[in-house]
Amino acid sequence: MLQQPVYDWDLAESGDASPPHVVRVTPEFIAEFCRVARYENPVYTSQAAARESGLPAGVAPPAMVLALAPVNLNAVAAAKGCVLPVSTSPSATGASTTGIGDLVIATSKLSINFHGAMISPEDEVTSVTTTQSKSKDQGDCYITFQVSANNQRGETVVDYTQTFSWPEP
């Protein structure tokens, strides 16, 4: 079986992009997100409460953009014919870890730019993750990814960048 190359420091390039990631926003998805995040504001889960607050319909909480338009690192790597690096570092329990979520990659910076377009039930959010830049600082390596998301009307709902520590080459 032919192994795919690893999306490592040397292969990562600015402009590498994922295919579009599409999520339909349902009232159930919003309600589940609010339950898990312990958001109790009824404007998120009740159209009547939203209308009473001056909104035309229910809205998704602003933090939900991270669930609707995730940093899709697997898709960025796959679009380049690669897989993400795997950690061989021991976890806190002493067991060996694998996968990007366990890469001992830490988010070192998250910067969110909302554009004023609220997300409502039945909206469709399409996002693309792009490798924005690479940098080194005192021997540590970082890759910054940009996520841009639009609704079905073409309105930008969010742009954000997230920087991760990355395994050294």
Backbone φ and ψ of 66, nearest 5°: -70, -25
Q: Which of 93, 162, 157 is nearest to 133 (CA)?
A: 162
Residue 99: pLDDT over 70:
no
Q: Average the pLDDT over 136-147 and give the result.
A: 91
Confidence of residue 57 (pLDDT cuts 50, 70, 90): confident
| β-sheet bridge partners, residue 162 | 110, 145
Q: How many CB atoms lie within 10 A of CB 25?
A: 23
| Tens of pLDDT, residues 61-87 | 999 999 999 999 999 999 999 998 875
Q: Which of 62, 57, 46 is nearest to 122 (CA)?
A: 57
| β-sheet bridge partners, residue 127 | 21, 149
Q: Whole-model pTM?
A: 0.84
Q: Enter the tokens of residue 37.
A: 């995040």
| Longest Cα separation, the chain | 60
HSE at residue 20, side-chain half, CA atoms within 13 A, is 9
| Tens of pLDDT, residues 17-41 | 999 999 999 999 999 999 999 999 9
Q: Which of 27, 25, 105 is nearest to 65 (CA)?
A: 25
CA gap 21, 125 in Å, rounded: 8
What is the per-residue pLDDT for 106?
A: 60
Q: What percent of the chain is predicted at pLDDT more than 70?
A: 86
What is the per-residue pLDDT for 14?
A: 97
